[in-house]
Amino acid sequence: MMRTKGNVRAIDELGRIVVPIEYRNQLDIKSGDLLRMELDGEGIVIKKNTPSCIFCGAENALTKHQGKTICINCIRDISKIPN
Ligand SMILES: [Zn+2]
């Protein structure tokens, strides 16, 4: 992972910041893309939002059902009909 020197940006009165253009270019982040933010100790980590299963968080073998993303393992799990 390439490390870069910190970029200092002001946060505005609504809590917004601008992600530096060089970061957006390097990570191919475009206007309208979803970003995921997580607290990490005393910092905030911002990553591109990758689709994941709403139940287990898996990021592969995904499909959509009624607008929700679900993985094949969870589909199998919840498809088990009790006798
Ligand atoms: Zn799942």
Q: Are residues 56 and 83 part of one domain?
A: yes
Q: Are 27 and 38 found together in one domain?
A: yes
> What's the 74 CA to ligand 1 centre distance in angstroms?
4
Q: How far apart are CA 42 and CA 4, in angstroms?
A: 19
Ligand 1 center–CA 3 separation, angstroms: 32
- In a domain? residue 61: yes
For residue 62, the CA-to-ligand 1 centroid distance in Å is 8
Q: What are 42's two structure tokens? A: 């005393």
CA torsion 74-76-77-81 (nearest 10°) is: 140
CATH of the domain at 25: 2.10.260.10
* 16 and 45, same domain (yes or no): yes
Domain boundaries, position 22: 12-49
pLDDT of residue 64: 94
**75 found inside a domain:** yes
Against a cut of 0.75, is the pTM above it? no
For residue 23, being part of any structural domain is answered with: yes
Structure confidence at residue 6 (pLDDT)? 80
Residue 81: the pLDDT is 75
Which pLDDT score, from 0 to 100, does residue 80 have? 87
Distance between CA atoms of 74 and 56, rounded to whole angstroms? Answer: 8
How far is ligand 1, taken at its centre, from the CA of residue 22, in Å? 34
* Domains in the chain, number: 2
Pairwise CA distance, residues 17 & 20, whole Å: 9
Q: Block means of pLDDT (10 residues each) for the chain, length 83 residues?
A: 74 95 93 92 91 93 94 94 73
